[in-house]
């Protein structure tokens, strides 16, 4: 049973199917230990986007307001996809890195622990 | 420790007599006063007696008038013409 | 009604007799349609009721008394609202920051009162027993009264302050208002038994004391006699509703042992959904009342852990246990308000009310009330934000957040055992990923995924292009998506939301009252 409903066989419409995003897919990005940004972010991206574009441009822009942002050493960053450790190939697309619609990507920056070390 | 029941009223002239009646009839009751609100807790059981209120206000009182100034309560309720009881357990 | 006819007036009925005539005399067994066809929603939830006559309403409120006392409550309330207006009471509150709680209340809570009116009208129609039907019907009328008195009372503030001009329109569209909206619509789209268990018991009995007792007492403490009066006037009805909720649960459990697992699942689900909704109340108490009565953590201890604990101890004789994840709520009580205020501080430029960094004295209060968490985790970010603001660079988060599929709150809550790590949970269903802020929200989805795949998540709706006014052209040159979304919300852009210190509300407050405002 996947719903308690008056009508037998009731199913619901998946509101956030990838087809509804005009060729884009959703990507969630969270920066570990930096909770001044209160929650992970959600952005629409093309599935063909090279992963390297995230580190070169997109993520630094998203977090530019954080004083740690300019100190990130991308070669040391640890990645997690759906909470599992993950090694991206920067030259390949998100899709080829296995990051589909509504993928949840987190990154940890060793040595950077937010404002006064408070994980803010 | 016995779990507490409670009843809370708006702080006003009507409820002053009601709270007095409750503390008179329930020796174990404790009264906590907050801005605009008075909360009475009692272990296990709390009784509101019509006669006790009438003695203090000098007129007939229908226990359903409690509704006018009631803010909240907790516990199982037994209500008759003479008594309004809150309690835990059967 | 076979009254003896004689010269003497008939004997006055006792409370019990009066109530029995009202609730048993009005129901009947249908003859030309089957009862199941007349009451089609009574069975599909799996609840078994064998004898509706076992239903007892402890308050035994009869119609004559109902109208009499409700009429008196209304007269009292409107006398105070009149006095408040004539006395320019809006200028006598502690500080204009306080008004922001009313904006949130009017847009986020009052529409729930109206939803409750609709929900109880439907429940009243769908119950087979006349006693339950009448209780639900009276509550439907009460809830309509609450929606009306709140709109009337707060409409006076709307003459002077921003953000209160279109609550119903906002309720159906604004990102954070999808939290209360989805909560209530979840209950209304369930069957009648789940609806009353959710709203009358889990919400009204177990949780609303946290909203209406310390918060309304706080309104009085901050000089808002109008709000405390509508709040307590509503709460006086609420006492009756809570009692209904407890009776519903006991009645269902006594009717058939097979009902227990269903009811327990509802108690688990609706505890968690209600608790998540109360995150808004937590931040109102700790951050938005300039004069504070008690902290969220203290209120949680008093009203849930003690009073709620006593309730569940009493229900143990039916086999009911404490709602699942109550232990998580206990672990979160020293963080909930801070994390939630952080969310609104981040996104206040897209909200219909203002946020601010607490003043130094307020931070001191927070340190005292939250010795284990405030200085360690939250003070550093507030001080940083304050410094940025002094430099003219007030922090706003410019990117939309990831939302929980169930509660729809931005994913700002942390792991139960680690306040420095965001809590991520995930499910896969029908080839899609779904994300959650907690095990509680994930469990709710996993049990009924067909329901929650339909969530109208505001962030995703914005990205799908569904949150612009008709005729908006996203390809036009200079198109500003945020501005267009705020117009779709019918916000006064730049006036309703954003930093309090930069607000017109603050400017007006100082101009009209001559009182000094807060500063950084």
How far apart CA C344 and CA C355 sit, in angstroms, is 7
Report the neighbours of A using a cutoff of 3 or more CB pairs below 8 angstroms: C
Which tens digit of pLDDT belongs to each residue from A20-69?
999 999 999 999 999 999 999 999 999 999 999 999 999 999 999 999 99
Identify the structural domains of chain C with CATH numbers, from first to last.
62-513 (1.10.620.20)
Contact C69 B74 (CB under 8 A): no
Residue labelled with tokens 């959904």: C273
Comparing C25 with C393, the larger pLDDT belongs to C393
Chain B partners within 8 Å of C16 (Cβ) = 80
pLDDT confidence band for C65 (50 / 70 / 90): confident
Compute the average pLDDT of residues C404-419. Answer: 98
User: What is the per-residue pLDDT across B22-60, written as a single tens digit (0 to 9) for each?
Assistant: 999 999 999 999 999 999 999 999 999 999 999 999 999
Under DSSP, the state recorded for C447 is H
**Residue A109 maps to a domain:** yes
Q: Measure CA C493 to chain center.
A: 26
Q: How large is the average pLDDT for residues C488-508?
A: 96
What would the DSSP string read from start to end of B16-82? HHHHHHHHHH-TT-EEEEETTEEEEEEESEEEEEHHHHHHHHTS---GGGGGGTEEEEESEEEE-SS
Q: In whole numbers, what is the pLDDT of chain C averaged over residues?
A: 94
Angle between helices C225-255 and C63-86 in degrees, nearest 10: 150
pLDDT of residue C116: 97
CATH number of B4-75: 3.90.56.10
Q: Which whole number is the average pLDDT over C30-50?
A: 95
Within 10 angstroms of residue C191's Cβ, the number of other Cβ atoms is: 20
Query: Is the pLDDT reported for residue C273 higher than 90?
Result: yes
In the predicted structure, residue C170 carries a pLDDT above the cut 90: yes
Closest CA to C161 of C228, C80, C96: C96
**Residue A23 falls inside a structural domain:** yes
What is the per-residue pLDDT for C5?
Answer: 54
Does A19 contact chain C (CB < 8 Å)? no
Q: Do A10 and C450 touch (CB under 8 A)?
A: yes
What pTM does this model have?
Answer: 0.95
- Grouping H, G, I as helix, E, B as strand and the rest as coil, residue A103 is strand
Residue A2 is assigned to a structural domain of this protein:
no
Gap between the Cα atoms of C184 and C204, Å rounded = 13
* In chain B, domain spans: 4-75
Q: Tell me what percent of the residues of chain B surpass a pLDDT of 70.
A: 98
Range of the domain at A100: 18-117
Residue C58: its pLDDT value, please?
74
**pLDDT tens by residue, C86-131:** 999 999 999 999 999 999 999 999 999 999 999 999 999 999 998 8
Which chain B residue has its CA at the smallest distance from C316's CA?
A: B89
Q: Examine residue A67 and state whether it is found in any structural domain, yes or no.
A: yes
Q: Compute the distance between CA of residue C254 and CA of residue A85 in angstroms, rounded to an integer.
A: 51
Domains contained in chain A, number: 1
Mark yes or no for CB contact B68/C72 under 8 Å. Answer: yes
**Res C474: pLDDT:** 87
pLDDT of B16 strictly over 90? yes
CB atoms A35 and C346 under 8 Å = no
pLDDT band for position C61 (50/70/90)?
A: confident
pLDDT over 50 (residue B13): yes
> Could you tell me the pLDDT band of residue C292, with boundaries at 50, 70 and 90?
very high
pLDDT digits (tens, 9 = 90+) for C432-477: 999 999 999 999 999 999 999 999 999 999 999 999 999 999 889 9
Q: Which of A75-79, A90-94, A107-111, B69-73 has the lowest mean pLDDT?
A: B69-73
Closest chain C residue by Cα to residue A32 = C421
Place of tokens 């404002």: A115
Answer whether residue A65 is part of any domain: yes
- Interface chains of chain B (3 or more CB pairs under 8 Å): C
CA distance A61 to chain C (A): 10
Looking at residue C4, what is its pLDDT? 52
- Domain holding A39: CATH number? 3.10.20.560
Average pLDDT value for residue range C340-368: 98
Lowest mean pLDDT among A43-52, C201-210, C410-419: C201-210
Residue C14: the pLDDT is 80
Q: What is the mean pLDDT of residues C250-258?
A: 96
ipTM above 0.90, yes or no: yes
Note the pLDDT tens digit of each residue in C148-159.
Answer: 999 999 999 999
pLDDT number for residue C1: 45
Q: How far apart are CA C219 and CA C164, in angstroms?
A: 18
């Amino acid at each position: 049973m996947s719903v308690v409903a008056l009508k037998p066989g009731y199913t619901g419409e998946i509101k956030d199917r990838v087809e509804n995003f005009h060729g884009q897919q959703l990507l969630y990005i969270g920066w570990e230990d930096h909770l001044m940004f209160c929650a992970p972010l959600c952005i629409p991206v093309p599935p063909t986007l090279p992963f390297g574009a995230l580190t070169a441009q997109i993520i630094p822009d998203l977090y530019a307001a954080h004083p740690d942002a300019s100190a990130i050493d991308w070669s040391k960053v640890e990645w997690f996809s759906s909470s599992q450790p993950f090694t991206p190939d920067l030259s390949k697309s998100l899709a080829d890195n296995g990051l589909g619609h509504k993928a949840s990507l987190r990154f940890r920056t060793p040595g950077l622990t937010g404002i006064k070390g408070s994980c803010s | 420790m016995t779990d507490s029941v409670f009843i809370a009223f708006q702080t006003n002239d009507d409820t002053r007599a009601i709270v007095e009646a409750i503390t008179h009839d329930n020796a174990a009751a404790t009264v906590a006063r907050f801005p605009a609100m008075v909360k009475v807790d009692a272990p296990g059981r709390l009784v509101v007696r019509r006669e006790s209120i009438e003695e203090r206000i000098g007129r007939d009182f229908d226990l359903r008038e409690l509704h006018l100034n009631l803010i909240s309560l907790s516990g199982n309720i037994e209500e008759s013409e003479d008594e309004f009881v809150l309690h835990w357990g059967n | 009604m076979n009254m003896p006819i004689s010269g003497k007036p008939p004997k006055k009925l006792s409370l019990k007799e009066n109530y029995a005539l009202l609730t048993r005399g009005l129901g009947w067994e249908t003859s030309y349609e089957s009862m199941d066809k007349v009451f089609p929603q009574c069975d599909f939830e799996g609840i078994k009721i064998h004898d509706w006559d076992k239903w007892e309403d402890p308050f035994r409120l009869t119609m004559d008394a109902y109208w009499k006392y409700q009429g008196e409550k209304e007269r009292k309330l409107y006398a105070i609202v009149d006095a408040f207006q004539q006395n320019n009471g809006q200028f006598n509150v502690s500080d204009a920051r306080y008004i922001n709680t009313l904006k949130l209340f009017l847009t986020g809570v009052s529409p729930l009162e109206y939803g409750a009116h609709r929900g109880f009208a439907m429940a009243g129609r769908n119950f087979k027993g006349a006693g339950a039907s009448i209780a639900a019907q009276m509550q439907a009328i009460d809830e309509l009264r609450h929606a009306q008195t709140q709109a009337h009372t707060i409409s006076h503030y709307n003459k002077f302050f921003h953000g209160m001009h279109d609550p119903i329109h906002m309720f159906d569209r604004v990102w954070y208002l999808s939290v209360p909206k989805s909560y209530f619509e979840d209950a209304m789209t369930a069957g009648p038994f789940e609806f009353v268990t959710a709203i009358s018991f889990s919400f009204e009995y177990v949780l609303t004391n946290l909203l209406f007792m310390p918060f309304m007492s706080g309104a009085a403490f901050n000089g808002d006699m109008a709000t405390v009066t509508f709040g307590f006037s509503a709460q006086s009805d609420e006492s009756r509703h809570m009692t209904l909720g407890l009776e519903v649960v006991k009645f269902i459990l006594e009717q058939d042992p097979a009902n227990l697992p269903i009811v327990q699942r509802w108690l688990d689900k609706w505890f968690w959904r209600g608790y998540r909704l109360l995150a808004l109340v937590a931040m109102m108490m700790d951050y938005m009342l300039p004069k504070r009565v008690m902290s969220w953590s203290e209120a949680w201890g008093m009203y849930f852990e003690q009073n709620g604990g006593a309730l569940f101890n009493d229900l143990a004789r039916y086999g009911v246990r404490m709602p699942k994840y109550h232990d998580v709520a206990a672990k979160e009580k020293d963080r909930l308000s801070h994390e939630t205020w952080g969310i609104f501080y981040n996104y206040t430029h897209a909200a219909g009310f203002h946020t601010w960094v607490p003043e130094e004295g307020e931070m001191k209060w927070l340190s005292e009330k939250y010795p284990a968490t405030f200085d360690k985790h939250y003070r550093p970010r507030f001080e940083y934000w304050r410094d940025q603001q002094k430099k003219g660079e007030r922090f706003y988060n410019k990117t939309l957040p990831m939302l929980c599929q169930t509660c729809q709150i931005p994913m700002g809550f942390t792991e139960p055992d680690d306040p420095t790590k965001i809590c991520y949970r995930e499910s896969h269903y029908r080839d899609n990923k779904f994300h959650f802020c907690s095990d509680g929200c994930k469990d709710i989805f996993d049990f009924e995924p067909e329901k929650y795949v339909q969530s109208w998540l505001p962030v995703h709706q914005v990205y799908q292009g569904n949150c612009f006014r008709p005729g908006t052209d996203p390809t036009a040159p200079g198109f500003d998506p945020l501005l267009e979304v705020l117009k779709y919300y019918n916000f006064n852009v730049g006036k309703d939301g954003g930093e309090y210190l930069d607000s017109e509300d603050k400017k007006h407050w100082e101009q009209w009252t001559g009182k000094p405002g807060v500063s950084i």
